Protein backbone atom coordinates (compact mmCIF):
# COMPACT_ATOMS: atom_id res chain seq x y z
CA UNK A 1 0.00 0.00 0.00
CA UNK A 2 1.37 3.38 -1.01
CA UNK A 3 1.11 6.63 0.93
CA UNK A 4 1.59 10.25 -0.10
CA UNK A 5 4.26 10.97 2.52
CA UNK A 6 7.79 9.57 2.83
CA UNK A 7 8.13 6.46 4.99
CA UNK A 8 11.80 6.99 5.86
CA UNK A 9 11.27 9.26 8.89
CA UNK A 10 8.99 6.66 10.45
CA UNK A 11 10.71 3.40 9.60
CA UNK A 12 14.34 4.49 9.21
CA UNK A 13 14.94 1.98 6.41
CA UNK A 14 13.95 -1.01 8.55
CA UNK A 15 11.83 -3.65 6.83
CA UNK A 16 10.01 -4.83 9.96
CA UNK A 17 9.26 -2.42 12.78
CA UNK A 18 7.38 -2.97 16.05
CA UNK A 19 4.90 -0.47 17.43
CA UNK A 20 3.32 -0.33 20.87
CA UNK A 21 1.76 2.28 23.11
CA UNK A 22 5.06 3.64 24.44
CA UNK A 23 6.61 4.06 21.01
CA UNK A 24 3.53 5.69 19.51
CA UNK A 25 3.14 8.13 22.38
CA UNK A 26 6.76 9.20 21.95
CA UNK A 27 6.25 10.41 18.36
CA UNK A 28 5.84 14.00 17.25
CA UNK A 29 2.36 15.14 16.29
CA UNK A 30 3.20 14.88 12.57
CA UNK A 31 4.72 11.41 12.74
CA UNK A 32 1.91 10.12 14.93
CA UNK A 33 -0.63 11.35 12.39
CA UNK A 34 1.29 9.58 9.61
CA UNK A 35 1.66 6.26 11.43
CA UNK A 36 -1.99 6.56 12.41
CA UNK A 37 -2.99 6.82 8.76
CA UNK A 38 -0.91 3.73 7.95
CA UNK A 39 -2.33 1.67 10.80
CA UNK A 40 -5.92 2.71 10.17
CA UNK A 41 -5.79 2.02 6.42
CA UNK A 42 -4.03 -1.32 6.79
CA UNK A 43 -6.48 -2.27 9.53
CA UNK A 44 -9.42 -1.36 7.31
CA UNK A 45 -7.99 -3.41 4.44
CA UNK A 46 -7.48 -6.36 6.78
CA UNK A 47 -11.07 -6.20 8.00
CA UNK A 48 -12.35 -6.03 4.43
CA UNK A 49 -10.21 -8.97 3.31
CA UNK A 50 -11.48 -11.10 6.22
CA UNK A 51 -15.10 -9.94 5.92
CA UNK A 52 -15.07 -8.72 9.51
CA UNK A 53 -18.05 -6.68 10.74
CA UNK A 54 -15.73 -4.04 12.23
CA UNK A 55 -12.16 -2.82 11.97
CA UNK A 56 -10.08 -4.35 14.76
CA UNK A 57 -6.72 -2.65 14.19
CA UNK A 58 -6.56 1.13 14.59
CA UNK A 59 -4.15 3.63 16.09
CA UNK A 60 -6.49 4.29 19.01
CA UNK A 61 -6.74 0.57 19.81
CA UNK A 62 -2.95 0.18 19.88
CA UNK A 63 -2.45 3.27 22.06
CA UNK A 64 -5.05 2.14 24.60
CA UNK A 65 -3.87 -1.48 24.91
CA UNK A 66 -0.75 -3.55 25.51
CA UNK A 67 -0.82 -4.92 21.96
CA UNK A 68 2.17 -4.96 19.64
CA UNK A 69 1.88 -4.21 15.94
CA UNK A 70 4.49 -5.48 13.49
CA UNK A 71 4.59 -3.52 10.21
CA UNK A 72 6.37 -4.74 7.09
CA UNK A 73 7.60 -2.01 4.72
CA UNK A 74 9.74 -2.34 1.60
CA UNK A 75 10.35 -0.30 -1.55
CA UNK A 76 8.41 2.68 -0.12
CA UNK A 77 5.34 0.45 0.33
CA UNK A 78 3.59 -0.88 3.42
CA UNK A 79 3.03 -4.56 2.67
CA UNK A 80 1.78 -6.28 5.81
CA UNK A 81 0.82 -6.10 9.47
CA UNK A 82 0.69 -8.53 12.38
CA UNK A 83 -0.97 -7.58 15.69
CA UNK A 84 -0.15 -9.57 18.82
CA UNK A 85 -1.38 -9.41 22.39
CA UNK A 86 -2.52 -11.45 25.36
CA UNK A 87 -6.10 -12.61 25.68
CA UNK A 88 -7.84 -14.42 28.53
CA UNK A 89 -9.82 -17.33 27.09
CA UNK A 90 -11.93 -20.24 28.25
CA UNK A 91 -10.87 -23.28 26.27
CA UNK A 92 -12.87 -26.50 26.00
CA UNK A 93 -11.14 -29.74 25.09
CA UNK A 94 -12.72 -32.53 23.04
CA UNK A 95 -14.22 -34.25 26.08
CA UNK A 96 -15.73 -31.13 27.62
CA UNK A 97 -13.03 -30.13 30.11
CA UNK A 98 -12.72 -26.36 30.48
CA UNK A 99 -9.51 -24.44 31.09
CA UNK A 100 -8.90 -20.76 31.65
CA UNK A 101 -5.83 -19.80 29.62
CA UNK A 102 -4.02 -16.55 28.95
CA UNK A 103 -2.14 -17.11 25.68
CA UNK A 104 -0.23 -14.61 23.63
CA UNK A 105 -2.46 -14.25 20.57
CA UNK A 106 -2.39 -13.31 16.92
CA UNK A 107 -5.20 -10.75 16.88
CA UNK A 108 -4.87 -9.51 13.29
CA UNK A 109 -2.79 -10.55 10.30
CA UNK A 110 -2.82 -9.09 6.82
CA UNK A 111 -0.55 -9.02 3.78
CA UNK A 112 -1.57 -6.70 0.96
CA UNK A 113 -3.10 -8.49 -2.02
CA UNK A 114 -0.43 -7.15 -4.40
CA UNK A 115 2.41 -8.90 -2.59
CA UNK A 116 1.08 -12.16 -1.18
CA UNK A 117 3.02 -15.43 -1.54
CA UNK A 118 6.32 -13.58 -1.24
CA UNK A 119 7.24 -14.81 2.25
CA UNK A 120 6.13 -11.59 3.96
CA UNK A 121 3.71 -13.30 6.33
CA UNK A 122 6.27 -15.83 7.45
CA UNK A 123 8.85 -13.10 8.09
CA UNK A 124 6.35 -11.18 10.22
CA UNK A 125 5.57 -14.23 12.34
CA UNK A 126 9.22 -15.22 12.68
CA UNK A 127 10.09 -11.70 13.86
CA UNK A 128 7.38 -12.02 16.50
CA UNK A 129 8.63 -15.46 17.60
CA UNK A 130 12.15 -14.08 17.93
CA UNK A 131 11.28 -10.87 19.75
CA UNK A 132 8.54 -12.21 22.02
CA UNK A 133 10.29 -15.57 22.56
CA UNK A 134 7.01 -17.46 22.14
CA UNK A 135 6.85 -20.33 19.60
CA UNK A 136 3.92 -20.66 17.16
CA UNK A 137 2.25 -23.58 18.98
CA UNK A 138 2.06 -21.49 22.17
CA UNK A 139 0.03 -18.77 20.44
CA UNK A 140 -3.74 -18.41 20.14
CA UNK A 141 -5.22 -17.27 16.82
CA UNK A 142 -8.29 -15.03 16.68
CA UNK A 143 -10.81 -16.06 13.99
CA UNK A 144 -8.13 -17.39 11.62
CA UNK A 145 -9.15 -17.47 7.98
CA UNK A 146 -8.80 -20.66 5.93
CA UNK A 147 -5.70 -19.08 4.38
CA UNK A 148 -4.10 -18.58 7.78
CA UNK A 149 -4.96 -22.12 8.88
CA UNK A 150 -3.33 -23.43 5.70
CA UNK A 151 -0.34 -21.12 6.27
CA UNK A 152 0.20 -22.41 9.81
CA UNK A 153 -0.07 -26.03 8.66
CA UNK A 154 2.42 -25.50 5.84
CA UNK A 155 5.08 -23.49 7.65
CA UNK A 156 4.77 -24.59 11.29
CA UNK A 157 3.14 -28.03 11.07
CA UNK A 158 0.15 -26.94 13.16
CA UNK A 159 -3.17 -28.56 12.31
CA UNK A 160 -4.89 -30.25 15.26
CA UNK A 161 -7.28 -28.20 17.38
CA UNK A 162 -10.74 -28.33 18.91
CA UNK A 163 -13.13 -25.67 17.50
CA UNK A 164 -14.31 -23.18 20.12
CA UNK A 165 -17.46 -21.09 20.43
CA UNK A 166 -15.28 -17.97 20.86
CA UNK A 167 -13.70 -18.63 17.42
CA UNK A 168 -10.16 -18.61 18.78
CA UNK A 169 -7.91 -21.44 17.65
CA UNK A 170 -5.54 -22.88 20.23
CA UNK A 171 -3.69 -25.86 18.81
CA UNK A 172 -3.45 -29.11 20.74
CA UNK A 173 0.32 -28.64 20.94
CA UNK A 174 -0.28 -25.72 23.31
CA UNK A 175 -1.13 -28.26 26.01
CA UNK A 176 1.93 -30.44 25.48
CA UNK A 177 3.72 -31.79 28.58
CA UNK A 178 5.17 -28.90 30.55
CA UNK A 179 2.55 -26.26 29.70
CA UNK A 180 1.87 -25.66 33.39
CA UNK A 181 5.54 -24.85 33.90
CA UNK A 182 5.34 -22.54 30.91
CA UNK A 183 2.61 -20.63 32.70
CA UNK A 184 4.89 -19.96 35.64
CA UNK A 185 7.71 -18.83 33.35
CA UNK A 186 5.94 -16.91 30.64
CA UNK A 187 2.20 -17.02 31.17
CA UNK A 188 1.57 -19.61 28.44
CA UNK A 189 -0.30 -22.13 30.54
CA UNK A 190 -3.75 -22.29 32.04
CA UNK A 191 -5.78 -22.76 35.18
CA UNK A 192 -7.76 -25.97 34.94
CA UNK A 193 -11.40 -25.39 35.85
CA UNK A 194 -12.90 -28.82 35.27
CA UNK A 195 -11.31 -31.15 37.83
CA UNK A 196 -12.63 -34.32 36.23
CA UNK A 197 -15.09 -35.28 33.52
CA UNK A 198 -16.33 -38.88 33.29
CA UNK A 199 -18.89 -40.08 30.78
CA UNK A 200 -22.03 -42.12 30.11
CA UNK A 201 -25.12 -40.95 28.23
CA UNK A 202 -25.72 -37.23 27.63
CA UNK A 203 -29.51 -37.73 27.52
CA UNK A 204 -29.67 -38.83 31.14
CA UNK A 205 -26.68 -36.89 32.47
CA UNK A 206 -27.41 -35.35 35.85
CA UNK A 207 -24.96 -33.74 38.23
CA UNK A 208 -25.08 -33.39 42.00
CA UNK A 209 -22.24 -32.48 44.30
CA UNK A 210 -21.41 -32.85 47.99
CA UNK A 211 -18.29 -32.85 50.11
CA UNK A 212 -18.19 -36.63 50.37
CA UNK A 213 -19.78 -38.20 47.31
CA UNK A 214 -21.68 -37.49 44.08
CA UNK A 215 -24.74 -39.41 42.86
CA UNK A 216 -25.43 -39.47 39.12
CA UNK A 217 -28.17 -41.24 37.19
CA UNK A 218 -26.69 -43.35 34.39
CA UNK A 219 -28.31 -44.30 31.08
CA UNK A 220 -29.79 -47.49 32.56
CA UNK A 221 -31.61 -45.55 35.29
CA UNK A 222 -29.52 -46.90 38.20
CA UNK A 223 -28.05 -44.68 40.86
CA UNK A 224 -24.26 -44.77 40.86
CA UNK A 225 -21.83 -43.18 43.28
CA UNK A 226 -18.57 -41.50 42.46
CA UNK A 227 -15.88 -40.71 45.05
CA UNK A 228 -15.81 -37.27 46.58
CA UNK A 229 -13.14 -34.76 47.42
CA UNK A 230 -11.72 -36.73 50.34
CA UNK A 231 -10.47 -39.30 47.82
CA UNK A 232 -8.63 -36.69 45.80
CA UNK A 233 -11.39 -36.32 43.23
CA UNK A 234 -13.73 -33.41 42.56
CA UNK A 235 -17.25 -33.95 43.88
CA UNK A 236 -18.55 -32.34 40.69
CA UNK A 237 -17.91 -35.49 38.67
CA UNK A 238 -19.76 -36.66 35.60
CA UNK A 239 -20.68 -40.26 34.84
CA UNK A 240 -21.72 -41.06 31.29
CA UNK A 241 -21.18 -43.38 28.29
CA UNK A 242 -18.09 -42.93 26.06
CA UNK A 243 -17.36 -39.35 25.00
CA UNK A 244 -20.86 -37.95 25.58
CA UNK A 245 -20.36 -34.37 26.69
CA UNK A 246 -22.47 -32.39 29.16
CA UNK A 247 -25.04 -30.74 26.86
CA UNK A 248 -24.96 -27.51 28.88
CA UNK A 249 -21.41 -26.85 27.67
CA UNK A 250 -22.36 -25.76 24.15
CA UNK A 251 -20.07 -28.44 22.80
CA UNK A 252 -19.58 -27.94 19.03
CA UNK A 253 -19.61 -31.69 18.43
CA UNK A 254 -22.54 -34.10 18.30
CA UNK A 255 -22.98 -35.68 21.73
CA UNK A 256 -22.86 -39.17 20.18
CA UNK A 257 -19.43 -38.63 18.67
CA UNK A 258 -16.95 -41.28 19.74
CA UNK A 259 -13.68 -40.04 18.30
CA UNK A 260 -12.22 -36.96 16.67
CA UNK A 261 -9.45 -36.33 14.19
CA UNK A 262 -9.54 -32.60 13.59
CA UNK A 263 -6.16 -32.48 11.90
CA UNK A 264 -7.14 -35.29 9.56
CA UNK A 265 -10.34 -33.53 8.64
CA UNK A 266 -12.89 -36.17 9.68
CA UNK A 267 -15.14 -37.20 12.53
CA UNK A 268 -15.83 -40.88 13.28
CA UNK A 269 -19.18 -41.46 15.00
CA UNK A 270 -20.72 -44.37 16.90
CA UNK A 271 -22.28 -45.62 13.68
CA UNK A 272 -18.77 -45.95 12.25
CA UNK A 273 -19.60 -43.53 9.47
CA UNK A 274 -17.03 -40.97 8.49
CA UNK A 275 -18.07 -37.37 8.13
CA UNK A 276 -15.93 -34.75 6.45
CA UNK A 277 -14.94 -31.89 8.69
Q: Which residues are annotated as a binding site?
A: 109-122, 145-154
Question: Which residues define the annotated binding site for acetyl-CoA?
Answer: 109-122, 145-154
How many Cβ atoms from other residues are within 10 Å of residue 144's Cβ?
19
Long-range Cβ contact pairs of 152-160 (< 8 A, separation 24 or more): 155/122, 155/125, 159/262, 159/263, 160/262, 160/263
Burial label, 38 (beta-carbon count in 10 A; 0-12, 13-18, 19+): buried
| Cα(17)–Cα(123) distance, integer angstroms | 12
Amino acid sequence: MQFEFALQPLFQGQIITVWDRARLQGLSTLLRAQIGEIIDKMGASSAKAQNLPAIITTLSRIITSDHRLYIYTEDALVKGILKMGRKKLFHRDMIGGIAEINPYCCLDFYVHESCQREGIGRRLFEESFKLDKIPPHKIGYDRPSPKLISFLRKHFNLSKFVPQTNNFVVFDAYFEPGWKEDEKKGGFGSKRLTQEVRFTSSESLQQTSSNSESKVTSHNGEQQKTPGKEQGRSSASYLASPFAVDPTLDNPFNSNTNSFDIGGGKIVTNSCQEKEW
